[in-house]
Amino acid sequence: MRTICILGSTGSIGTQGLDVIRRHSDRLRVVGLAAGTSHALLVGQIREFMPPLVAISDEEAARELKTRLGAVRGVEILAGPDAAETLARNSEADLVLNAMVGAVGLAPSLAALQSGKLLALANKESLVVGGELIMDLVKGEPDRLIPVDSEHSALAQCLRGERREDLRRVLITASGGPFRGWTREELAKASVKEALAHPTWNMGPKITIDSATLMNKGLEVIEAHYLFDLDYRSIDVVVHPESIIHGMAEFTDGSVIAQLATHDMRLPIQLALAYPDRFGSGIRPLDLAKLGRLTFEELDREAFPAVDLAYRAGQNGSTYPAALNAANEVAVTAFLAGKIRLIHIAEVVGAVLDEHRPAPVVSEVALSRADALARSRAAEIIESL
């Protein structure tokens, strides 16, 4: 029986992770849940799974949660901004699924690894912002870090058992998002509602907007750099609208190995929670004859400059990726609030990178400083637009 702690249990990945555990309750058990605030969904999760530890970042919400749980016994509530980190460190879990959104997920990821646990990572920002710190903790034990993103789960499967010296490059696929084929002029008029209407994946608002700008693909490039120890020149992005092939590895002899699956996040989540085992998934298998065809397109870098911004930040290294991520988070929030247009997101990020003064990534303190400065500067730029 593997014991699981889920950070971000009420979000898209968290709820699907619990669905996987529900389907395989004979092999997986929840011992910790973390969420930002209290609401009916979290209360229901606690009553169903009865985890001994629950973390809530909002202290007022934690008090409300205790009231709503009433006579439920055996559940300890941790409260405050560091509650998820404490949960990741102190829970009795074998594995922590980090499904938090944003740079706030880095500290819990570090805590999980420092405490000797397996980390199933769906929080992109942990690697984008703190890749050096994360990878230092898994030196000699790479299997302790298990990717959950469908693309990196796919690449891990494609590369398993292959010799690294035989690898030429990896290809990360992109659906193209809701604005595939749009020109920059058309994107300037895109609405929030249109941006949130992803054609294939059901995700939270922040990740969905990142998919609309293709910043998510840029972040995934940085993730792949760290996860698989790849030079950025060996990582490519290709548009694949059907979202059936999730990643490919090309080898020096010209062979290409691809991982195909229905676009259902429960599969990569399950692969991570069960690793190295494979469970019967209950997920609809592929019917290739019915599917008919798979198509591929080059990335339109003029209309979607966010990908190249991520390559630039990643190749520059130091605290550039932290600044990229911070500026993007601020800009996405502003777009969702109707303060800026979609095309302004990449413009804000690019301006912040232009002004960024890098520092070595030696600690969380250095990253926090870069993050704060980038957020402040992004907010100023947004106000001037």
Over its length of 385 residues, how does the chain's per-residue pLDDT go in tens digits?
999 999 999 999 999 999 999 999 999 999 999 998 767 899 999 999 999 999 999 888 888 888 888 777 888 999 999 999 999 999 999 999 999 988 999 999 999 999 999 999 999 999 999 999 999 999 989 999 999 999 999 999 999 999 999 999 999 999 999 999 999 999 999 999 999 988 776 777 898 999 999 999 999 999 999 999 999 999 999 999 999 999 999 999 999 999 999 989 999 999 999 999 999 877 888 998 998 999 999 999 999 999 999 999 999 999 999 999 999 999 999 999 999 999 999 999 999 999 999 999 989 999 999 999 999 999 999 999 8
Model confidence, pTM: 0.94
Pick the closest to residue 28 from 79, 75, 93 (CA basis): 93
**Fold designation for 2-148:** Rossmann fold (3.40.50)
Q: Which residues contact 147 (CB under 8 A, 6 or more apart)?
A: 121, 153, 155, 156, 223, 227, 268, 272
Instruction: Answer for the pair 129, 372: CB distance below 8 angstroms, yes or no.
Output: no
- State which amino acid sits at residue 259: Q
Q: Which helix (H) or strand (E) holds 113?
A: helix 106-114
Give whole-number Cα distances, 317 to 321, 323, 380, in Å.
Answer: 7, 11, 24
The predicted pLDDT at position 38 comes to: 66
Q: Which two tokens stand for residue 40?
A: 């009916």
- Kindly give the interhelix angle for 342-355 and 364-384, rounded to the nearest 10 degrees: 130
244 neighbors 263 (Cβ within 8 angstroms): yes
**Residue extents of the structural domains in the chain:** 2-148, 152-263+287-384
What pLDDT, on a 0 to 100 scale, did the predictor assign at position 173?
A: 97
| Annotation: CATH topology of 152-263+287-384 | Rna Polymerase Sigma Factor; Chain: A (1.10.1740)
Q: CA–CA distance from 332 to each of 181, 299, 307 (Å)?
A: 21, 21, 15
Task: Give CA–CA dist 55/267, Å, rounded.
Answer: 26
